[in-house]
């Protein structure tokens, strides 16, 4: 049974491949037949109309001009603030109070939440009590030592105990401050994933603070474009949600390839007078990687091709006072947005046939 299914699969695969190959071969045969028929039609017309009064075909033309032509790499990215930070606690603890809400504007150093530090505060009270006693003892020993009464060891011991307790209190105060989650930047609270009573852990963001005073468009670009994109390149940033487009420059092109998806990061700063940006808003980046200041570019659908003859278009020409269609064999360059750059085969001022060209043959009389 397995062998039968395997055999059927192979037969179907071969039939499919054979079918596609047969279609390709048939297409080339039809194109050759069409060209041969065009030649036969031309010869018959010459025989039937020796005076040259062949019925002409109505066509439309367009005069070719040399214009700037550019190619863009188009990728989808996102909007981000220059400062978009996930704020996590510096020490683990249970959340006692949250002092801000989403949408609030905060400043650098402002306390966002307080963690449970009761044990530290109790320890601080004990140390402060010990410090009071140690300070009093030190003052008495110092007074005696100033009068040359008592031993130096007693004075130094009292001094050391006092300073040691002062250092411990300073450390506890720092630890209590670390139990407060503070904002490292000026910005807006965009997200608060923690709640009162939850355990806040080091390394896990408890708040997201975003500063959009400077915004940027960020995109991941495929590794294949590494040599085509660099800092300073022109880029068009389109924001579909706002229906706005900006002409900018690439401000950052990463030298690091992400091994997971084989991409690198490209950034472009956005105008600062638009304060309606939202984090992760869609941004389409069109990065210019090719530009020719003066060339001929025509719509791609006007170009025809033949295996034997290559690519060609029809242009209007004059032969013995009669307007005819002439095949112009061309060499094409880059294609972008439906336009193809023509490297050779067409010149400025040529009349490109833009309508009625499908059924033409070389030398056929035409009228506009």
Q: Predicted confidence band at 83 (pLDDT cuts at 50, 70, 90)?
A: confident
Instruction: Identify the domain boundary among 229, 256, 291.
Output: 291
Judge whether residue 224 has pLDDT over 80: yes
Q: Which of 151, 178, 205 is the last residue of a domain?
A: 178
Structural domain contains residue 150: yes
Beta bridge partners of 329: 312
Task: Please check whether residues 281 and 196 belong to one and the same domain.
Answer: yes
Same domain as 287, residue 196: yes
Q: Check: CB of residue 66 under 8 Å from CB of residue 298.
A: no
Asked if pLDDT for residue 196 goes beyond 60, the answer is: yes
Q: Examine the pLDDT at 264 and tell me if it is beyond 90.
A: yes
Query: In which band, very low, low, confident or very high, does the pLDDT at 80 lie, cut at 50, 70 and 90?
Result: confident
| Residue 281 and residue 197 share a domain | yes
User: In this model, does residue 5 exceed pLDDT 50?
Assistant: no
Residue 29 inside a domain? The answer is yes
214 closest CA partner among 252, 183, 181, 257: 252
Q: Does a structural domain hold residue 237?
A: yes
Lowest mean pLDDT among 172-181, 268-277, 278-287: 268-277
Could you give the CA distance from residue 277 to residue 215 in angstroms, rounded to a whole number?
A: 8
Domain that holds residue 166: 117-178
Domain identity same for 233 and 144: no
Count of structural domains, the chain:
3
Residues 260, 226 contacting (CB under 8 angstroms): no
**132 and 273 co-located in one domain:** no
**pLDDT tens, position by position, 93-112:** 888 889 999 888 899 889 99
The answer on 267 and 200 residing in a single domain is: yes
Q: Output the domain CATH number for residue 144.
A: 1.10.287
One domain for residues 156 and 198: no
Residue 48 has pLDDT above 80, yes or no: no
Q: Tell me the three-class secondary structure of 179-235, residue by residue.
A: CEEECCCCEEEEECCCCCCCEECCCCCCEEEEEEEEEEEEEEEEHHHCCCCCCCCEE
pLDDT score of 2 more than 60? no
* Pairwise CA distance, residues 311 & 9, whole Å: 39
User: What value does the mean pLDDT of the chain take?
Assistant: 84
- 52 has a pLDDT exceeding 80: no
Q: What CATH number does residue 211 fall under?
A: 2.40.30.170
Residues 80 and 212 in one domain: yes
pLDDT in tens, 312-348: 999 988 888 888 889 899 999 999 989 999 999 999 9
Res. 222 pLDDT band, cuts 50 70 90: very high
Domain co-membership, 203 together with 280? yes
In a domain, 107, yes or no: no
Residues 45 and 128 placed together within one structural domain of the fold: no
Return the percent helix, strand and coil in the chain, to nearest 5: 30, 40, 30
Last residue of a domain, one of 153, 178, 203: 178
* pLDDT reported for residue 364: 84
Q: What is the pLDDT of residue 19?
A: 56
C-alpha 51/C-alpha 365 separation (Å) is: 13
Does 351 reside within a domain? Answer: no
Do both 270 and 222 map to the same domain? yes
Average pLDDT over residues 298-305: 90
Judge whether residue 289 has pLDDT over 70.
yes
pLDDT, tens digit, 9 for 90 and up, residues 204-220? 999 999 887 788 999 99
266 or 274, which is more confident? 266
Per the model's pLDDT, the better-predicted residue between 24 and 219 turns out to be 219
Q: What is the mean pLDDT of residues 59-83?
A: 90
pLDDT for position 185 = 87
User: Which range in 89-93, 153-157, 221-225 is most confidently predicted, on average pLDDT?
Assistant: 221-225
Predicted pLDDT at 150: 75
> Is 324 part of any domain?
no
Shared-domain flag, residues 174 and 198: no
């Amino acid at each position: 049974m397995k062998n039968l299914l395997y055999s059927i699969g192979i037969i179907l695969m071969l039939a499919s491949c054979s079918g596609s190959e047969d279609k390709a071969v048939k297409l080339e045969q039809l194109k050759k037949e069409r060209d041969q028929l065009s030649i036969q039609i031309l010869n018959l017309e010459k025989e039937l109309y020796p005076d040259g009064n062949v019925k002409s075909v109505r066509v439309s033309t367009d005069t070719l001009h040399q214009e700037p032509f550019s190619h863009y790499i188009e990728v989808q990215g996102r909007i981000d603030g220059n400062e978009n930070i996930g704020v996590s606690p510096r020490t683990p603890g249970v959340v006692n109070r949250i002092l801000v809400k989403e949408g609030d504007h905060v400043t650098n150093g402002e306390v966002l939440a307080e963690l449970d530090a009761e044990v530290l505060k109790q320890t601080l009270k004990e140390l402060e009590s010990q410090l009071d006693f140690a300070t009093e003892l030190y003052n008495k020993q110092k007074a005696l030592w100033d009068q040359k009464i008592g031993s130096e060891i007693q004075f130094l011991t009292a001094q050391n105990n006092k300073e040691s307790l002062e250092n411990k209190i300073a450390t506890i105060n720092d630890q209590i401050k670390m139990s407060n989650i503070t904002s490292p930047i000026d910005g807006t609270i965009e997200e608060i994933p923690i709640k009162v009573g939850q355990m806040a852990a080091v390394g896990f963001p408890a708040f997201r603070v975003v500063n959009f005073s400077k915004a940027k468009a960020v995109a991941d670009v495929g590794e294949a474009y590494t040599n085509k994109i660099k800092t300073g390149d022109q880029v068009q940033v389109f924001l579909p949600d706002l229906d706005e487009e900006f002409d900018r420059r690439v401000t950052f092109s990463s030298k690091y390839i992400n091994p997971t998806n084989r991409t690198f990061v490209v950034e472009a700063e956005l105008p600062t007078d638009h304060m309606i940006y939202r984090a992760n808003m869609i941004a389409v980046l069109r990065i210019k990687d090719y530009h020719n200041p003066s060339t001929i570019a025509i719509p791609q659908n006007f170009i025809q091709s033949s295996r034997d003859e290559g690519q060609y278009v029809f242009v209007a020409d004059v032969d013995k006072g009669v307007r005819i269609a002439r095949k112009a064999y061309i060499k094409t360059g880059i294609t972008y947005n439906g336009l193809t750059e023509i490297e050779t085969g067409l010149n400025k001022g040529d009349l490109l046939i833009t309508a009625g060209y499908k059924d033409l043959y070389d030398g056929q009389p035409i009228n506009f």
